[in-house]
Amino acid sequence: MIYKTIKDYLEASKDFLENEKQFHLGVIPTEQSNPITRNLSAIIAKDTAEGVKTIFAADVNVEPVARTAFHTPEFAAFIDDIKRCMDEKRKVVFSSVGASGRMAVQMEGAWRCFWQGLVDKLPNHRYEFLQLGDVVTSFITGGDRAVVRSVENFEDYMTFGAKQVDEAEMTKGDVLVALSECGLSASINGSAVRGYELGLRTYYLHCNPEDILRNHLDRARAVFECVDEYNENIKNGVPTDKYIVKIPLVVGNMAVSGSTRMQTTTVELLAAGAALEIAANRWLKENLTEQELSVIGGEFLTLDQYADAFVSLNKQLMEGEALKGIAKAVDFEVDTYNKKGLVTYATHEYLLDIMTDTTERQPTFTLPPFRKFNDTEHEVSWAYTKDPLYPNEVAWQQLMRRDIKGLEWTPDDYRAMGATQDIINNPPKVSGSELLEYCIGNEDDQSRYSRDNAYLVLIDINGSATKEAIAWYKKEVVKFTGGKVIRFGQIPSDVIQEDEIRVPVELPRTCTDILYHLLIKVAFNALSTGTMAKMGRVFGNWMVQVLPTNKKLIDRSTRIIASLAQIPYEQANQEFFKSYYNRKPEDEYKESYVVETLKRLGFDPTKDIE
């Protein structure tokens, strides 16, 4: 764990307070409380649907922020560069961390799925389509292992992000897209600076105000200084082979304070996804005949239509059958977990989308992480994902649609990058082979029905639950306490199972289906957040069950304690480290250090906000 090389909790606190001021982030909007959701835990405790509606209400800034960005010359250049890379068969590489990193892998998977799917429809273009599928790729801080489990402390190093850019083997003319999320993660800022140094066409999408990031964070300031240098060269007509452009997507405070898996990743997915699809549509129109275009399917939207579609999505989720459906799903999960049960989601086409939300529950709410298939020692994760169609190795191939990207870094590599001695002595297990040890395939996994109240949940999106998937579900569900079917989007008229949970939403179908990926993202974010809030793992809209896997989260834990216990930041930090150092290994997921500390200080996390 972070800081465990320092033996005394007071010394650890002193070190953090004196030497890690770059991680004292209370001034950052995405780290602050959102007035819209201020009483979320109290609202959802009384009325699940109203609580879910409150979560969706926090998306109010997503559409106007995205629409404003869509009409800037910087965004136009972004689309042009993606299209150019398609024409020249160059790389567009998305770099990010945590929730944004998993979202980047999702976008890459959707992109590859579209182009690979065209091969059967238009076989004469098969070679070119496969080339185009390889144009867009991604890497996540910590490597692909981070798709299933956060890699502790990795986002704290600019050098780690820079090394991953080097390992992507990009050359001038390629495009690097740094999804900086809140702008706080050193690794992504490091990747953006490295892209600039290498002369890559670099775009920096950030979701906190530039002036605040410049004034308070050296790692963010380094990126904006690269932007300044580029703009000055362009203004003065000075030839330059270094290129970096910022695209602000500032959506304000999160639905749950600091939980950037919410609005920041939503606006990033809307903006970056729209850019990819607009570029793809331009290529299709230029290179295919009218008859060929007619068999592709899907609508060709304008940028404003993407913004309009998000407004429609948000409106549909906040009323009628869709709202009732998500509220029903929340109540189902709350009841299951309160009875110490388990949920296993089964889906194929949208497996990565649902895995992303399920993975992120662990650090957000201090839940047991995904467990490897042969691991019988650690606690089973509350929720998990399975592909009903394929065994594990093939399921991972289907999920990633490319080779797994692990980090094969040695102690010497970590030493050269300035990592802590703890990382050098105990390098994290982030190689490519690690991912295959997490069984997401259709093999029998007794751990998922190892106790009472374990449920198998079939997910159907736009009819994606094929007859083969349904047959597997019906065969396997008898091993569990029971089963549930949850259906989203354009729901067919058939009935898979009595008492289905239905979330009907009508959206345009586009080439990579980005709008339905957005649906699943925001719906599952609301499902998991609503569940945890109703279970008391959110207080107000504070993430009191946060698991501090990096310095940003140590600061967040400290600020929550200071705010709720009404004590100075410095005292709150000492109290946090006291809990942090006294925790027994077997109690790691018992409850968060924040809640433990608040209880020790005599604060009741269940009382009403005054």
Cβ neighbours around 57 below 10 Å, total = 14
How far from chain centre, in Å, is Cα 196? Answer: 25
The SS3 call for residue 465 is coil
Q: Which pLDDT band, with edges at 50, 70 and 90, does 609 fall under?
A: low
Q: Which DSSP category does 25 fall into?
A: -
Kindly state the helix (H) or strand (E) to which residue 335 belongs, with its residue range.
helix 320-338
Mean pLDDT of 45-51: 97
Domain definitions of the chain by residue range: 9-60+313-534, 62-288
Q: Which DSSP category does 174 fall into?
A: B
Q: What is the pLDDT of residue 610?
A: 55
Burial class (CB in 10 A: 0-12, 13-18, 19+), 171: exposed
Distance CA 570, CA 585 (A): 26
CA angle 176, 178, 184 (to 5 degrees): 155
- Residue-wise pLDDT for 359-405, tens only, equals 999 888 889 999 999 999 999 999 999 999 999 999 999 999 999 99
Query: Mind spelling out the 3-state secondary structure of 340-408?
Result: CCEEEEECCCCHHHHHHHHHHHHHHHCCCCCCCCCCCCCCCCCEEEECCCCCHHHHHHHHHCCCCCCCC
Q: What is the pLDDT of residue 456?
A: 98
Query: Amino acid identity, residue 543?
Result: M
Q: What is the pLDDT of residue 4?
A: 59
Per DSSP, the residues of 247-291 read EE----S-SSTT-TTTHHHHHHHHHHHHHHHHHHHHHHHHHS-HH
**Which residue, 453, 481, 485, 477, is CA-closest to 325?**
485
- Residue-wise pLDDT for 263-274, tens only, equals 999 999 999 999
Q: Please say if the pLDDT value at position 236 is more than 70.
A: yes
Query: Amino acid identity, residue 443?
Result: E
Query: Mind spelling out the 3-state secondary structure of 31-65?
Result: HCCCHHHCCHHHHHHHCHHHHHHHHHHHHHHHHHH
Query: Amino acid identity, residue 562?
Result: A
Distance CA 63, CA 370 (A): 33
Mean pLDDT of 435-449: 97
Chain-wide mean pLDDT for the chain? 94
User: Does domain 62-288 correspond to CATH entry 3.40.50.10490?
Assistant: yes
Q: Which pLDDT band, with edges at 50, 70 and 90, does 183 fall under?
A: confident
- CA distances, 290 to each of 298, 354, 509, 510 (Å): 14, 36, 19, 17
Q: What is the arrangement of strands in the sheet containing 342-346, beginning at the earlier edge strand?
A: 383-386, 342-346, 454-461, 482-489, 501-504
Q: Please say if the pLDDT value at position 224 is more than 70.
A: yes
The SS3 call for residue 240 is coil
The SS3 call for residue 585 is helix
How far from chain centre, in Å, is Cα 538? Answer: 19
Q: What is the pLDDT of residue 3?
A: 62
